[in-house]
């Protein structure tokens, strides 16, 4: 479809009392005479990171395939990513040397988490004087945040605290802080869908004003009805359809949040939905659907998601395992425990797989949102029974705007810095960073 009317800014928003809604990419945002299918030789690129705690089953063939080549077989732990095989890259043998002790004694869970996206050894402290290094998500956010409402979005699939010392002389926060804005400023990963929703679509109104709107059971969309009607009169049929689908998706997530909030009023504690094991998937989908909307509306181009905390003993009953995650990870080479760990890991990876499926279903220009994004899924422990940081679990998914080749599994020497992968990921999405932590260059063959 060709638009002859005045183009709408890509950064346009629908504004009303308490609301500031970014818009999805529309035909009307393109130069006159340009079709959406022809748009943008350089599409907007996005980065996402999912942190998997407590390691994974390190036995060959469980995370990484048994052989290289085009006919490699999908493994049990990565099975949820089978639908995205042609956009999946699995590097084996990467190591975070800086997560090792270096004289600091125990604390591998904490160091593995903090080091994951920066490749820098953190300061051992149980006090507020924490120190690590800027992470790659924030390197991207500092560049792309010039063009979006939010520089980055940090979310969590479980509720966690950070006060005091948890173990081995490290502050509790070190077990969840894998995103750092500065060497002394870790970022909070928000588990509450309502707070994430308000951050994406609110106008910065006070908590009291937000509660008043909720008490009246009003939608955040109610205040932008006039703006929506005006805009619809200026749009072609396809754009109206795109906008209607986007706003309905916003409203759907908001409804689901409201349902949970009503339940919280009448149900005894715990008060947050992600504290209830039976609602883990429901909560995860709320958080991930919000990320989809954030990417679709170009509200942010960088997301980080904490699947769970290091040393967390939550049980995921829908995985088929009732044992706690951390206890199961100390497998002691027991075949039964290893099998349980595989089930837990595969279950947890269903959550990012849900996001990838949603992104792939949304067209943008000559591709879809997953084509234009690049995600890293993995964690800071290799073999959790040994608490080591070699042969880390790593999966890279997405097309990076045509720059990333998937359908591959490559083996690397065991001393290959994980930070080399981080450099390559930034380069793939157009950010010319040549050094991250202890990197020695881009990852060969990526």
Query: Cα 170–120–426 angle (5° rounding)?
Result: 130
pLDDT band at residue 117, thresholds of 50, 70 and 90? Answer: very high
Find tokens 């593995």 and name the residue: 112
Is residue 218 over pLDDT 60? yes
Residue 201 structure tokens: 């679509």
What is the band of 17 on the pLDDT scale with cuts at 50, 70, 90?
confident
380-435 confidence digits (pLDDT tens):
999 999 999 999 999 999 999 999 999 999 999 999 999 999 999 999 999 999 99
pLDDT given for residue 164 in this prediction: 47
pLDDT grade for 266, boundaries at 50, 70 and 90: very low
Tell which wins on pLDDT, 444 or 270.
444
118-133 burial, b if ≥16 CB within 10 A, otherwise e?
bbbbbbbebeeebbbb
The owner of tokens 């499926």 is 357
Residues 72/65, Cβ–Cβ less than 8 Å = yes
Could you tell me how far CA 436 lies from the centroid of its own chain? 20
pLDDT greater than 60 at residue 286: yes
Which is more confidently placed, 21 or 216? 21
In CATH, the architecture of 42-192+275-428 is: 3-Layer(aba) Sandwich (3.40)
**Residue 260: pLDDT over 80:** no
pLDDT digits (tens, 9 = 90+) for 141-190: 999 999 999 999 999 998 876 544 577 889 989 999 999 999 999 999 99
> CA angle, corner 364, sides to 298 and 136, nearest 5?
45
Predicted pLDDT at 32: 58
pLDDT tens digits for range 45-74? 999 999 999 999 999 999 999 988 778 999
What Cα–Cα distance (Å) separates residue 6 from each residue in 2, 234, 302, 406, 429? Answer: 12, 9, 30, 39, 31
pLDDT given at position 370: 98
For residue range 315-373, list pLDDT tens digits in order. Answer: 999 999 999 999 999 999 999 999 999 999 999 999 999 999 999 999 998 899 999 99
Residue 306 pairs in a beta bridge with 51, 156
Cα 198 to chain centroid distance, Å, stands at 18
Helix, strand and coil content of the chain, in percent to the nearest 5, comes to 40, 15, 45
Cα–Cα distance measured from residue 50 to residue 156, given in angstroms and rounded to the nearest whole number? 9
As a whole number, the mean pLDDT across the chain is: 88
Domain boundaries defined on the chain: 1-38+194-271, 42-192+275-428
Dihedral (Cα; 158, 183, 142, 189), 10-degree rounding = 10
Instruction: Give CA separation, 376 vs 6, 44, 82, in Å.
Output: 39, 18, 16
162/176 Cα distance (integer angstroms): 8
Question: Cβ neighbours of residue 320 under 8 Å, at least 6 residues apart?
Answer: 343, 347
pLDDT score recorded for residue 8:
79
Q: What pLDDT is attached to residue 45?
A: 96
Q: Which of 173, 155, 187 is nearest to 293 (CA)?
A: 155
pLDDT tier at 34, thresholds 50, 70, 90: low
CA 79 to chain centre: 19
Q: Give the Å distances, CA to CA, from 61 to 69, 91, 146, 346.
A: 14, 13, 43, 13
Give the largest Cα separation in the chain, rounded: 67
C-beta of residue 293 within 8 angstroms of C-beta of residue 135: no
């Amino acid at each position: 479809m060709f638009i002859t009317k005045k183009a709408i800014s890509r950064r346009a928003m629908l504004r009303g009392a308490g609301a500031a809604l970014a818009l999805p990419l529309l035909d009307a945002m393109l130069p006159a005479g340009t079709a959406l299918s022809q748009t943008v030789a350089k599409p907007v690129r996005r980065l996402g990171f999912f942190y998997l705690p407590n390691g994974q089953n390190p036995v060959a063939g469980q995370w990484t395939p048994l052989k290289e080549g085009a006919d490699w077989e999908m493994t049990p732990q990565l099975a949820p990513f089978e639908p995205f095989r042609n956009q999946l890259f699995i590097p084996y043998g990467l190591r975070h040397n800086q997560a090792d002790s270096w004289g600091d004694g125990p604390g591998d869970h904490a160091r593995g988490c903090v080091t994951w996206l920066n490749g820098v050894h953190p300061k051992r402290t149980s006090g507020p004087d924490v120190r690590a290094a800027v992470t790659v998500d924030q390197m991207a956010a500092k560049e792309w945040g010039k063009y979006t409402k939010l520089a980055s979005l940090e979310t969590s699939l479980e509720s966690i605290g950070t006060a005091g010392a948890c173990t081995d002389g490290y502050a509790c926060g070190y077990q969840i802080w894998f995103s750092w804005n500065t060497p002394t400023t870790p970022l909070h990963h928000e588990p509450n869908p309502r707070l994430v929703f308000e951050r994406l679509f609110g106008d910065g109104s006070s908590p009291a004003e937000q509660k008043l709107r909720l008490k009246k059971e009003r939608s955040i969309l109610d205040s932008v009805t006039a703006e929506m009607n005006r805009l619809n009169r200026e749009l072609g049929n396809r754009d109206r359809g795109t906008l209607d689908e986007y706003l309905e998706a916003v409203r759907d997530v908001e409804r689901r949040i409201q349902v949970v909030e009503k339940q919280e009023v009448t149900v005894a504690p715990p008060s947050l939905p992600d504290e209830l094991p039976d609602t883990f998937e429901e909560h995860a989908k709320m958080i991930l659907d919000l990320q989809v909307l954030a990417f679709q509306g170009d509200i942010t181009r960088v997301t980080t998601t904490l699947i769970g905390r290091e040393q967390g003993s939550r049980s995921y009953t829908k995985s088929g395992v009732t044992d706690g995650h951390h206890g199961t990870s100390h497998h002691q080479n027991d075949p039964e425990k290893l099998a349980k760990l595989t089930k837990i890991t595969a279950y947890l990876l269903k959550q990012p797989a849900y996001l990838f499926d949603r992104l792939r279903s949304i067209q943008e220009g000559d591709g879809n949102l997953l084509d234009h994004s690049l995600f890293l899924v993995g964690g800071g422990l290799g073999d959790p029974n040994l608490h080591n940081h070699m042969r880390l679990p790593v999966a890279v998914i997405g097309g990076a705007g045509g720059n990333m080749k998937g359908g591959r599994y490559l083996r690397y020497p065991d001393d290959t810095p994980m930070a080399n992968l981080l450099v390559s990921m930034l380069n793939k999405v157009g950010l010319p960073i040549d050094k991250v932590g202890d990197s020695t260059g881009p990852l060969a063959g990526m």
